[in-house]
Amino acid sequence: MPPYIVQSHGNFAQIFERWLLAGTHRHNLGKPSHERVSVRTTSWNVKEGHYPSSFQGVDAIIISGSVNGVHDDVPWIATLRRYLLGVYHNLPWIKIFGSCFGHQLIAQTLLGDHGVRVKRSDGGWEVGVHDVYHDQVFVQKFPNLSEAPICYQFLHSDEVVVKDNLPPTWSSIGSSTLCQIQGLYQSGRVLTYQLVWQGHPEFDRIIMNDFVRRLVKAGAIDADASETYLDFVERDDTRILAAEVLLGFLTAD
């Protein structure tokens, strides 16, 4: 994160924590005390090789976004892949959530043997707030999605491709006008937000405006298109509903 964003909003882990806590508050509204949940998070900088030494008291792991891509040839990504495989195969009670880079890593690591891969999107960058329309089977698992489609900030240009069919226990969470598959779900185990266009439900307008302007300055985004992107950044979103769905996933049996 740029230093002034860290100063005003915190780092990736702190931004994610606030988003998750906002979802927890919404999840608890109107519930009797014995049905309310609380969330306690601890962050680990895997780029520096830091990992939990114990899973005692841990219910789930979250893999956040990153400035790196899953194909970058850096040792920490290879280590994280091995770690994720170990958690998935050896600790079946631990739930796994990924957003953006995290969802790409989960998709390619856990489903690579089934033809799932990450590549540069043919459609280029997707920026700003867009709707996600969910599969009805997924909505039945999380009824609060029937209220309205989720819409949140997008900022990425990579794409996860499913060559054939997903394994029987895996499914897509839904689609949009821009892509057929918007996320991955394995009941009781794995949830990812954005399979194709990588979403950032934890990002607000200020952070997104900064990233768009920096990408334009770096030449990664065309300046002529940036005004349209910034208009989409300013749209209203339902990112707290997205966090509430995550809470539903984390607390489900």
Model confidence at 43: pLDDT above 60: yes
pTM over 0.85: no
What the chain holds in terms of domains, given with CATH numbers, is 3-47+58-251 (3.40.50.880)
Model confidence at 134: pLDDT above 90: no
pLDDT band at 44 (very low <50, low <70, confident <90, very high): very high
Q: Which 8-state DSSP code applies to residue 169?
A: T
Model confidence at 251: pLDDT above 50: yes
Average pLDDT over residues 12-17: 84
Q: Rounded distance, CA 248 to CA 201, Å?
A: 16
Average pLDDT over residues 218-242: 73
CA dihedral 249, 242, 62, 221 (to 10 degrees): 150
What is the average pLDDT score of the chain? 81
Alpha-helix residue ranges (DSSP H) falling in 91-170: 101-111, 136-141
Q: Rounded distance, CA 147 to CA 136, Å?
A: 13
Model confidence at 195: pLDDT above 70: no
Model confidence at 164: pLDDT above 60: yes
Model confidence at 149: pLDDT above 70: no
